[in-house]
Amino acid sequence: MPVPILKQSGVLIATIQAALTDHDLVQLKDDLAEKVGRFRAHGVVIDVTALDVMDSFATRTLRMIAETTRLRGAVTVIVGIQPDVAMAMVQLGLLLDGISTALDLEEGLELDLATEIGFSGSELTIVATAISEVARNIITYAVRGEIILSTLHQGGRRAIVVIARDSGPGIPDIEQAMRDGFSTGKSLGLGLPGSKRLMDEFEIVSEPGKGTIVTMKKWARSR
C-alpha cells in the first residue's frame, strides 16, 4: 500500500498508516525524491506513529530519504516514534542519525555519524542515553507518547534535536523532578537531571493533567 504524501506550504507530509513492505518503503523514497524536486519543498515530515517496529531496512531507507532530501536543500523530520520503539532502536545500535533516521549496524554507527553530523562515538553514546531516559519516562509515567528527531544547522554547526512528548499525567513540581535522586517511581531519580547534564540544551514543559514535553539539543563539536 503506497504511503500518501500531502503538500502543505512547502512541506511534504508522509503519513505511514501501517506496517510497510520493503517495496512500499523504496517507493516512498522515490516518491519523496521526485516530489521534493517538483514542488521545491523545504521540508519533509514522515509520521511513523503507526509503526510498532522499525527494523534495520526501514531505518536505512528513512536515512536515505533524509540524505536525498538534504542534497536538495530540504530538511527531514521524523515524528511519532513510539518510546518503546526508540528504546529498542537505541539498544540495537540503530540510533537515529539526527537528520531523521537510524543507521544500520553493519554500516558502522560511529564512522557514519561522525562524518554526517560530526559526532564522536562518545557523543553518540551520550545522545542515545538521553533518548533512552526520556523514552523510559514516557513508558513508565505517561504510558504513551512520541519521540521526534531532527537536526538543526546554525552558524555552520549542526545539532541533533530530540523532542519527547506525551499527554500523560504531567509533572506537578518540575524543580523537584529535576533534583538528583527524586523519584515517584522508586527508581534512581537520575533520568531528567542526568539527561540535562548529558545534553547541551535541555528544556522541560509540563502541565498536570495535560502532559510533558522535553526538548534537548546536542551540538557537534566544531572542528
Ligand X SMILES: Nc1ncnc2c1ncn2[C@@H]1O[C@H](COP(=O)(O)OP(=O)(O)O)[C@@H](O)[C@H]1O
Q: Contact residues for ligand X (CB under 6 A)?
A: 133, 137-138, 141-142, 166, 168-171, 177, 182-185, 187-193, 212
98, interface contact from Mg ion, ligand X, none, CB < 5-8 Å by kind: none
When asked if residue 132 is in the footprint of Mg ion (CB under 5 A), the reply is no
74, interface contact from ligand X, Mg ion, none, CB < 5-8 Å by kind: none
Question: Which DSSP helix (H) or strand (E) runs through 34?
Answer: helix 22-39
The residue whose Cβ lies closest to ligand X is: 191
Give the rounded distance of the alpha carbon of 93 from its chain centre. 14
The least CB distance from residue 178 to ligand X, in Å, is: 7
Q: Which is nearer to ligand X, 158 or 165 (CB)?
A: 165
SS3 call for 210:
coil
Q: Which is nearer to ligand X, 98 or 189 (CB)?
A: 189
The least CB distance from residue 62 to ligand X, in Å, is: 25
The least CB distance from residue 191 to Mg ion, in Å, is: 3
SS3 call for 91:
helix
Q: Which is nearer to Mg ion, 48 or 147 (CB)?
A: 147
Q: Which of 137, 195, 206, 212 binds Mg ion (CB under 5 A)?
A: 137
Q: Which is nearer to ligand X, 75 or 142 (CB)?
A: 142
CA neighbor of 60 nearest in space, from 87, 26, 32: 26
Q: Which of 83, 98, 145, 191 binds Mg ion (CB under 5 A)?
A: 191
The least CB distance from residue 106 to ligand X, in Å, is: 33
Q: Which is nearer to ligand X, 60 or 136 (CB)?
A: 136
Amino acid at 132: S
DSSP states along 40-66? T-SEEEEE-TT-S---HHHHHHHHHHH
17, interface contact from Mg ion, ligand X, none, CB < 5-8 Å by kind: none
Q: Distance of CA 63 to CAs 12, 46, 56, 95, 142, Å? A: 16, 11, 10, 11, 29
Output the CA torsion 19→36→94→142 (10° steps): -60
- On whether the CB atoms of residues 92 and 69 are closer than 8 A, the answer is no
- Give CA–CA dist 131/149, Å, rounded: 10
